[in-house]
Chain A
């Protein structure tokens, strides 16, 4: 996975991954933006692992075949934001687990190993982007913010320590601020959840049939209760405002 830094491109790699896995990951990433990276110099960050010389040569060849130049191998426990490399983890549980390939950290579109159960940590990445709908039984939890580009169906759950944004219809259970953040919000294009939880507060859908919302709405805590308002970007209602 690539991270842009002031010095240029930094390639974070899993030293445990096979060279084939890495080659495939790089290829996929570069295929997404052909030509964009051409000529760039790359720092390869092994995140503390010491790698064999043969391995370095392989990586260099892979990079060069795509027009990139290997400028440095960084064995340090480095990071771009100073965050601990293991602190931001997405846990995807459930029997019908989402494949790691569909869950992407924003700064981290390419897990080096698709079979890995956890999305690899990227220092500074605090938002997880899920580019698919969640069906019944699927559950995503993340220690930062969660953005779902799709629907969250009844019977599925999204848990985030930060905010939850659903670019679609939220009909399942959403828990924002799961570890106690009372400033957390839930925003959805159509907010009609089975149950909403923010920090330690819970509210549920009314039992009677109610008309669906007309537009995007947000839920947040106000005087200790969950309130829902139409989404607006007016001062005071935006995130963190």
Chain B
């Protein structure tokens, strides 16, 4: 199996990029592949915290690209998920500490040892974004059902396409079925209508995410977490499985749900 580098991005901050990276990465690793998570959010790192690995950081991404630490030594193995490793960001530096060329080299080095490389992209469209997408083959765009997040996602998708990452996959985070029913929230169909990209998954708004984030344990490790279940499905889809079961939020017959099935069938057929 050749390895794939996927950037997790959104444009807007606070939509759940880091949570998605941690959970999709952990879910992938729990299924067998070797997964490296790269925190590209230099200066505002969080991925280490969400994974509960903050106190294990010795070297970071900047140390590695500057040649002051070996990549192997900077990678931190997750304490519970065997195949999951983290390359933490530097906190005392900023986005300009690395260049897209250095990131490309870093990702190609990681590909020698890992099946999946997930890059946690910073918010924004500046240097940090350019660094994070530099080595990526594919992109996951995370958005929430809010107009502001959708606008930013649209901008990001355009920029990804301009960089040659042609078919970004959409993850809609923090869906609230009750609000959709009351017509108080954009539906997944509305989003797809606007963004015209492939849907990778829909994750419900779930309190267990806050709990798991604070504990430093990905929600996918909690079998009761609704969001965790959806992240597991997303991981399975990334591995090429036909997981078309309705999201917890779906009403049977929802149009986006049918489209999701069609998309996966289409890709496989």
Contact = CB atoms under 8 A, between A and B. Distances in A.
A197 B58 CA distance: 10
Given A137-B43, A207-B79, A94 B93 contact: yes
B158 interface: no
Interface in A89-145: 93-95, 136-139
Interface in A126-173: 136-139, 154-157
B127 to A, nearest CB: 12
Contact of B54 (A94, A138, A157, A194): A194
Contacts of A157: 91-92
Contact of A207 (B44, B52, B94): B52
A137 B91 contact: yes
Interface in B37-89: 43-45, 52, 54-58, 79
Contacts of A94: 92-93
A156 B54 CA distance: 12
Main secondary structure of the interface of B (DSSP, over half): loop
A95 B55 contact: no
Contacts of B45: 155
A56 interface: no
Nearest to A195: B55
B91 A204 contact: no
B54, B55, B79 pick with most chain A CB within 10 angstroms: B55
Given A95-B43, A207-B79, A137 B92 contact: yes
B54 A93 contact: no
Contacts of A95: 43, 92-94
Given A137-B43, A207-B52, A207-B79, A195 B57 contact: yes
A38 to B, nearest CB: 44
B55 A204 contact: yes
A202 B91 CA distance: 19
Nearest to A204: B55
A139 B92 contact: yes
A96 to B, nearest CB: 8
Interface string A42-84: 0000000000000000000000000000000000000000000
A228 to B, nearest CB: 15
A15 B54 CA distance: 46
Contacts of B43: 95, 137
Interface string A185-196: 000000000110
A137 B43 CA distance: 6
Nearest to A97: B92
A136 B55 contact: no
A205 interface: yes
Interface of A: 93-95, 136-139, 154-157, 194-195, 202, 204-205, 207
5 contacts: A154-B54, A155-B45, A194-B54, A195-B57, A207-B216
